[in-house]
Every structure is written in C-alpha cells, then in structure tokens.
Structure 1
Amino acid sequence: MTVRTLVRWVGLGALLMAGAAGAAGTHGTIHGAPADGMAATAIPVAPPSAPEFPDAALARSEQGNATVLRVDGIITAGVEQRFAETLRGLPAGRPLVVELSSPGGFTSAGYKMIDAVLAERQSGRPIATRVRGGESCESMCVGLYLAGYPRYAAPSAEFMVHAPRMAENGRMTMRSTQAMVQRLVSLGASPVWIDRVKAAGGFSGAVDYREKADRLTADGANIVTDLIR
C-alpha cells in the first residue's frame, strides 16, 4: 500500500473526529496575497518519526507585509512542532499566509496545527491560507486550509475530502463520518455543499471526492473564499 493511500486514511476524516474545534475568531484580512517567485528559507527538518512517513518540507519567506509559511508534504509530529515554533517566533500581529501542498497526514499533529492557527487568529494575527495552481490540498490538509481566512486558491488547485478511516484497518463508521461532517461545517464549509458531497458518495467510504477551486467557488462551498486570478 502506498504512503499516499495510508495518509488519506489518517487524514481529514480522522482529524475532524479528534477533540473539539470551534470556528475561527476575528477575521483578519491580508490584502494582496504575496506573489510567487520569492526566495524562501527552509526551516530545519526534525528527524521523522517513521521513515515511511517523511515530514513535509516547511519553508518561511518574508514577502511584502506578510510572512509566508509553506507546508509541502505529509503533516507529521515533526512538522507540527516546527510550525508551532515558527508561529511563536513571529512578531506580534504580523500577517501570515500558510501555503499548503499536502496529501494529508496524522490526526494529532494536524489538529494541533489547526488549534495553533485558530488561537493566533483569535489573538488578532491575520492568517490567510493559500493553494497554488496545479497543487492539491487533500484529506486532513483541507481542515488546516479552512482554519485560515481569507482562503486563497488558484482556479486549478484541487481539494479532496472523504470519509474517515483508521490507518490500522481502513474501517469507517457512521458516527465518525457524522463527526467529520459537523467539524467541516464548524470550520466554515457550506452545509449545502456538504449535502452535494454526500449525494455524490463522497462520505460513503468508497469515493475520494475531488473538486478544483473554481468549481468549489461556483458551488458556493465556502472552502475557497478568494480565487487567485
């Protein structure tokens, strides 16, 4: 079984079952998301907890009036620790853009990252999220993306949600699926769009439901709030 498949099992669905989450606090807005092509500084990688699940690359760059923190790969405990340390090291109130390209990751690590983003926003720091054209945000990554506001994406950026599954056995339950759906809504996803996903079998356990950012916007999903043109 591939790493990508296993990551999806422990992705967004499992994440949204773990602990309590609330909607984000004050909606700080970052005007003019930083452009591509700026130099980035890689943040040192902690030793991965398991070689089959390498840590995502984490890179920080300063672009205009904001810091950009890019997460590229699998969300692990090592990534969560470095992410939290970076947030703590930012000047108070400095706007942040969290740029994501990820197939998902581990429940505890991802949820701590969401908590950190929500707490920073509630304290007054503007935090946006962004997915570039041709890249994807899948499974648990969608929960992290929803923690920011505004939520930028190129029209061709792809998002994937699915029913929660356990990494050990691939099982899903109606209770865990409902918990996941409620959490998606609490983070901002439109209940009407959730119903469309259900109708398409996206929470049945048999389908990885994918949509491009432009389609999500047309569907009123409230996943993406601002398309990057």
Structure 2
Amino acid sequence: MSVQALGRKIGFGVALGGLLLVGSAISHAASEPAAIRQSSVSLIPVTVNPAPAAPASAEFPDATMSRNDQGDATILRLDGIITPGAERRFLDALHALPARRPVVVELSSPGGFTAAGYRMIDAVLAERRGGRAVATLVRDGDSCESMCVGLYLAGYPRYAAPRAEFMVHAPRMAENGRMTMRSTQTMVQRLVSLGVSPAWIQRVTAAGGFSGVRDYRETADRLTADGANIVTDLLR
C-alpha cells in the first residue's frame, strides 16, 4: 500500500475500550474499525524490552528519524534502537506537526531503553487523546521487537506487511539479563491494556515466550491468523 493510500485511510472512530488483566483472570473485548480510534480512557504504556541503564553510546546508537510529508499525512520513520536521543528527535518531530495532522509512525527497531520508550508511547497516546490520528506501520523486510512492540501498539490502525516480523519476550535488564515474575506480569498487563488478545498471550506463555529464555517471534500474517490483535491491517 502506498503512503498516499495510507493517508486516505486515516480517520477518526469511536473510543478504544481499556483492557485489563488482573492476576490470572483475563478479559478482552476486541473491535477493529477501519479508522484510527481516539481514546477516551487512560491507556497504559507497555515495555517488552531489555532496558539499558546508561545513555546512548557506541553500543546503543540512537535510531535514525526521518519525516516525509505526503498528501494528507506525515510519515515519521524510526529506524534503530530506541534511546533517549531517538526519543527527543521523535517527540520534536511529532510536536512540530500542524495540529491534528494525521501521522503514520513507521517502525524498524530491535527495541531499546524502557524509560525512553514509555515516554514515546505516552506521547503517541496523548496525541490521539488530543484528536490527532496516529497509525503505526512495519514494512516488508523490517522487524519490530521488544520495546518497539509497545510503541507500535500505541497507534491505531496498526499496519504491517504480511512478512514483517514482531518479537516479544520477558523484560530484562541489559547489564545483567535478570528478569522477575512481577516485571513480567506487569508487562503482560500492559500489553493487554493496549489491546493484545489475552488468548494470544496465553499461547505465548505456554510456548515459553515470557519465560526469560526465549524470544517469541511471529510474522504479521501469523499474528493476524492467531487473532493476536497486534496487527489490525495487513498490507497487500
């Protein structure tokens, strides 16, 4: 699908219902209109990534940011590691846009810093609550992993090429690789609050995807077939 076609598809819809996971009891109400939803509830950011403790460095270079205005929409592309530097450039680009101009956030990222990712997710959700249409997109040949999945989930609709790859896993610290049951449960709750299907979460859990020893990967077409509600619109 072309950028122009994506721009034409961006619009406004009804409110996105909050989804909560409490302990082991999971409830889910999914609906997927063609338009971008404007949230009337407080959506919770999500992190699913290793969290580097130090600022961006040669080991964790900033993702590149680019802006492409086409037709009725702006494409903001983030390519690389989510760092505080990438966060600043992303927020600057987002806030520099005319009020309510629709945005497509195009992602290709292995994840990155938790705090920076949280703030980027919060910014996207705030823009949607304020009336801006914000979609997300992962193209063929690109992947969205770890922290990137949370940022992808902040938009609506969520476009992806059929073979685009997504990865989730248990959150862990970059410096020592440690994870805790509490942090994993919190992460799962937040995934569900952003719309991920609890049934899919259960399948990933059963497959060891949140065990801390496996990175769980699926392509966009597989996620759609599995009813994950991560990708809402497959590109053809």
TM above 0.5, one fold? yes
Match of 2:82 in 1: 75
Alignment match of 1:29 (pick from 17, 30, 35): 35
AA aligned to 1:200 is A
Q: Distance in 2 between matches of 1:170 and 1:182?
A: 21
Match of 1:145 in 2: 152
Deviations 1:128-156 (A, max 9, x none): 00000111000000000000000000000
1:91 aligned onto 2:106? no
1:214 aligned onto 2:229? no
AA aligned to 2:177 is G
Deviations 1:174-213 (A, max 9, x none): 1111011001001110000000000110000111000000
The secondary structure found in structure 1 opposite 2:74 is strand
The secondary structure found in structure 2 opposite 1:164 is coil
For structure 2, list consecutive stretches of 5 or more residues without a partner in the other structure: 1-32, 37-54
Q: Post-superposition shift, 1:28? A: 9.0
1:161 aligned onto 2:147? no
Alignment of 1:3-18 (within 5 A): none
Alignment match of 1:199 (pick from 193, 197, 206): 206
Match of 2:26 in 1: none
1:181 aligned onto 2:188? yes
Q: Distance in 1 between matches of 2:230 and 2:186?
A: 18
Q: Distance in 2 between matches of 1:125 and 1:132?
A: 22
Instruction: Give the number of equivalent residue pairs.
Output: 186
The secondary structure found in structure 2 opposite 1:97 is strand
8 A contact 1:151–1:223 mirrored in 2: yes
AA aligned to 2:125 is L
Q: Post-superposition shift, 1:29? A: 2.9
Match of 2:112 in 1: 105
Q: Post-superposition shift, 1:64? A: 1.6
8 A contact 1:28–1:124 mirrored in 2: no
For structure 1, list consecutive stretches of 5 or more residues without a partner in the other structure: 1-26, 31-47
Q: What is the aligned-residue RMSD (CA, Å)? A: 1.3
8 A contact 1:28–1:125 mirrored in 2: no
Match of 2:197 in 1: 190
Q: Distance in 2 between matches of 1:114 and 1:184?
A: 12
Q: Distance in 1 between matches of 2:34 and 2:118?
A: 21
AA aligned to 1:70 is R
Q: Distance in 1 between matches of 2:66 and 2:89?
A: 10
Match of 2:58 in 1: 51
Q: Post-superposition shift, 1:169? A: 1.1
Q: Distance in 2 between matches of 1:170 and 1:112?
A: 23
Q: Distance in 2 between matches of 1:135 and 1:28?
A: 23
Match of 1:41 in 2: none
Match of 2:14 in 1: none
Which runs of at least 4 in structure 1 moved beyond 6 Å after TM superposition? none
Q: Distance in 2 between matches of 1:172 and 1:108?
A: 17
